[in-house]
Amino acid sequence: MEKLGIQTTQNVYIEHQIANLGDRLLAQLIDLFINVCYLTLIIFFSSILKLQDYAIIMLLLIPMFFYSFLSEWFFNGQTVGKKILKIKVVKLDGSAPSILSYFLRWILRIVDIWFFYGSIAIITFFVNGKGQRVGDIAAGTTIVKTNRKISLKDSIYQELPDNYDINFTEVNLLSEADINTISEVIKHYKRNKTNQSKDLLEKTKNNVEEKMLVKSKMSSIDFLNVILKDYNYINKHI
């Protein structure tokens, strides 16, 4: 499976697996099935209630029409189909997709999928090399796998004793995105203990020290683990 490197907003390089075409198509089929079921219910109840007000019927059809756009916007880059297949929309620059990103992906489905029966999307997917269709290219997004198994120990949330001593109170200067990045870097290092992953740890440590306005003599891995613990403890007791 192809992999894609994403440079996060914290200047950290994280590697993701690109969602394959089969996963994307199956996710769309699941979403299509949901929409068909919804349409069937509307037709069924309209028939029973003898509903002839077309304005109301059109209003009821709006959720189906905007399903993909609204789902990705409200559920962090996932529709029901994507959730089941464990794939999601992400930005190539590492930032969180905006409502405009989701809108561009949605509106350009007309070109990608509906006008040319999906042929444009498939061709672009294979030619592009980043798992993108036309809508993704315009939005600066792609779709990646999210099914890495993460244990509680590897999560950013950790159980800590009530008498835990905070090492760096400056950790409150970090955002949740910073903490997620630190967690990803540590997990990447544990999976791939290479010189590159060690350099990534050191670079992340330097960036975190800059943000927190501190300097530590701890090793990179120890420092970042302490930061996660401090962050967990402080946020647990807010």
- Asked if the structure places residue 161 within a domain, the reply is no
pLDDT (0 to 100) of residue 63? 92
Cβ contacts of 209-213, under 8 Å, gap ≥ 24: 211/173, 211/174, 211/178, 212/168, 212/170, 212/171, 212/173, 212/174, 213/170, 213/173
Whether 5 has a pLDDT exceeding 70, the answer reads no
Distance separating alpha carbons of residues 131 and 121, to the nearest angstrom: 10
Residue 188: exposure state from Cβ atoms within 10 A (0-12, 13-18, ≥19): buried
Judgement on whether residues 192 and 133 belong to the same structural domain of the protein: no
Judgement on whether residues 52 and 86 belong to the same structural domain of the protein: yes
pLDDT (0 to 100) of residue 161? 78
In the chain the first and final C-alpha atoms are separated, in Å, by 42
- Asked if the structure places residue 153 within a domain, the reply is no
pLDDT (0 to 100) of residue 238? 45
Judgement on whether residues 13 and 106 belong to the same structural domain of the protein: yes
Q: 89 and 72 in contact (C-beta within 8 Å)?
A: yes
Domain boundary among 145, 177, 196: 145
- Asked if the structure places residue 111 within a domain, the reply is yes
- Asked if the structure places residue 158 within a domain, the reply is no
Residue that wins the pLDDT comparison between 106 and 161: 106
Domain boundary among 84, 113, 145: 145
Distance separating alpha carbons of residues 211 and 198, to the nearest angstrom: 20
Judgement on whether residues 86 and 130 belong to the same structural domain of the protein: yes
Q: Which of 169, 164, 176, 180 is nearest to 212 (CA)?
A: 169
**Domain hosting residue 197, numbered range:** 169-236
Average pLDDT over residues 118-130: 85
Q: Which of 117, 108, 72 is nearest to 91 (CA)?
A: 72
| Residues 188-211: tens digit of each pLDDT | 888 888 888 888 899 999 999 999
Judgement on whether residues 178 and 108 belong to the same structural domain of the protein: no
Distance separating alpha carbons of residues 101 and 41, to the nearest angstrom: 31
What is the chain's mean pLDDT, rounded?
84
Distance separating alpha carbons of residues 7 and 11, to the nearest angstrom: 6
| Residues 129-162: tens digit of each pLDDT | 888 999 999 999 999 988 654 444 444 566 677 7
pLDDT (0 to 100) of residue 214? 92
Q: What global pTM score does this model have? A: 0.61
Judgement on whether residues 83 and 18 belong to the same structural domain of the protein: yes
Judgement on whether residues 111 and 71 belong to the same structural domain of the protein: yes
Distance separating alpha carbons of residues 111 and 124, to the nearest angstrom: 11
- Asked if the structure places residue 112 within a domain, the reply is yes
Judgement on whether residues 188 and 130 belong to the same structural domain of the protein: no
Total domain count, the chain? 2
Judgement on whether residues 129 and 185 belong to the same structural domain of the protein: no
Q: C-alpha angle with apex 7: 16 to 233, nearest 5 degrees?
A: 85
